[in-house]
Amino acid sequence: MSLVVVGTVAFDAIETPFGKTDKIVGGAASYIALAASYFNRNIHLVSVIGDDFPTDFLNLLKKEGVNLDGLEIKKGEKSFFWAGKYHNDLNSRDTLVTELNVLADFKPVVPEDAREADFLMLGNLAPAVQLSVIDQMKRRPKLIVLDTMNFWMDIAMDELKKVIAKVDVLTINDSEARQLSGEYSLVRAAQKILKMGPKALIIKKGEHGALLFNEEEVFFAPALPLEEVYDPTGAGDSFAGGFIGYLSKTEDISFENMKRAIIFGSAMASFTVERFGTERLIGLSQNQVDERIQEFIDLVQFDIILA
C-alpha cells in the first residue's frame, strides 16, 4: 500500500568519538525511505535538493522502490547541510553548521498520484510545511505519523500543536515529551499528549528503547545492546521508517501490529547506528533483517505462567 515520505534529503558532516566524516548523504527522508523500503516498495518521496546531490544515491533510492517524482531539484542551488559533533556519551551533540540552502523556502508538492496514499510519514520539518502536505492529500490517509523535535517546540509551538492535532501517531524523544507536556513522568506526559489529538504516542529513549502509548495500553520495545554505537545520526528516522514501512506493508494499524512495527523500527535503527550515515542501511539481506529481529525476540522473551 502506497506510502508518502516527506522530509529532508541533505548532506551531513558528522563527528563522533570514533571518527569524522566529510559531507555524506543524510536527511530524515533519506533514512526513513531507506528503512521503509525493506518492507514497502511503493514509496513516494517528497523533498527538495540542490543540483549538488549525488545521482548515485538517487538511483539507489529508485532501485529500492522509492518514486522520486516528488523530489524537487533546484538548479544552481545547494542542498541542505548540517554538521554536528557528538559528545563522548553519544547522547548529546552540538550543531556546528546549519546551511538551510534549498530548505529555506521549501514548498513541498505532493505528486498527483501520491495524493491518495494511505500512509503518510511526516519527517522532521517546520510544522507549517508538514501541515501543507496534509492539506494536499485528496482524502485523509489511513495513518499519518509525525516526527518532530524540540527546536519546533521552542519556536513554533502553536503551529506544531495544529499538526499534532491532525495526526494518528506522534514520535518524539523523552525530553521532548516532557517539554511538550510539562510533565516529568512519561506516563503522565503521554496521557496529556494523547489528549492533543494523536491516537498513539511513541516516546523514543535512544539506547534505552522506546515506549508506545495509546489511551489504554503501553508497550515497551528495547534497544539492542550493541558493542559500539558509531553514529546515532538518523536512528530516530530509521526507526520511523521501519515502523511505518511495516505498517504500510501489513495494512494493519491496530495496537498489536504497532507493537510489531516498533520492533521492526528498532531493528532498522540498530543497523543505522553501527556505521556512519546511511551506510549500514543499504543492501541488507532479508536474512540479516530476520536475524536482527530474532535478536530482539530473544532479548526480551521470557515465559512466566501465572496460576
Site for its own copies, rule CB under 8 A: 88-89, 184-188, 205, 208-209, 211, 217-222, 225-229, 256, 259-260, 263, 290, 293-294, 297-304, 306-307
Query: Can you tell me which residue has the cell 498520484?
Result: 113
Amino acid letter, 209: G
Q: How far is the CB of 262 from its own copies (least distance, A)?
A: 8
Nearer to its own copies (CB atom), residue 107 or residue 302 = 302
Sorted by sequence, the CB contacts under 8 Å of residue 157 that are 6+ apart come out as none
- Conformational region of residue 73, where left means phi above 0, alpha means psi within -120 to 50, and beta covers everything else: beta
Nearer to its own copies (CB atom), residue 113 or residue 291 = 291
Amino acid letter, 131: L
Is the Cα dihedral 72, 77, 78, 80 positive or negative?
negative
Q: How far is the CB of 221 from its own copies (least distance, A)?
A: 8
Cell numbers for 34, please give them. Answer: 531507506
Full DSSP string of 80-140: -EEEEEE-TTSS-EEEEEEE-GGGGG------GGGTT-SEEEE-S--HHHHHHHHHH-SS-
Nearer to its own copies (CB atom), residue 55 or residue 301 = 301
Measured between alpha carbons, how far is 289 from 143 in angstroms, rounded to an integer? 24
Cell numbers for 228, please give them. Answer: 559500539
Q: How far is the CB of 276 from its own copies (least distance, A)?
A: 17
Q: How far is the CB of 210 from its own copies (least distance, A)?
A: 11
Nearer to its own copies (CB atom), residue 57 or residue 220 = 220
Q: How far is the CB of 87 from its own copies (least distance, A)?
A: 12
Q: How far is the CB of 237 from its own copies (least distance, A)?
A: 22
Q: How far is the CB of 246 from its own copies (least distance, A)?
A: 10
Nearer to its own copies (CB atom), residue 83 or residue 194 = 194
Nearer to its own copies (CB atom), residue 105 or residue 228 = 228
Measured between alpha carbons, how far is 227 from 240 in angstroms, rounded to an integer? 23
Cell numbers for 113, please give them. Answer: 498520484
Nearer to its own copies (CB atom), residue 44 or residue 178 = 178
Q: How far is the CB of 303 from its own copies (least distance, A)?
A: 7
Neighbours of 283 (CB within 10 A): 10
Nearer to its own copies (CB atom), residue 105 or residue 307 = 307
SS3 track for 175-221: HHHHHHHCCCCHHHHHHHHHCCCCCEEEEECHHHCEEEECCCCEEEE
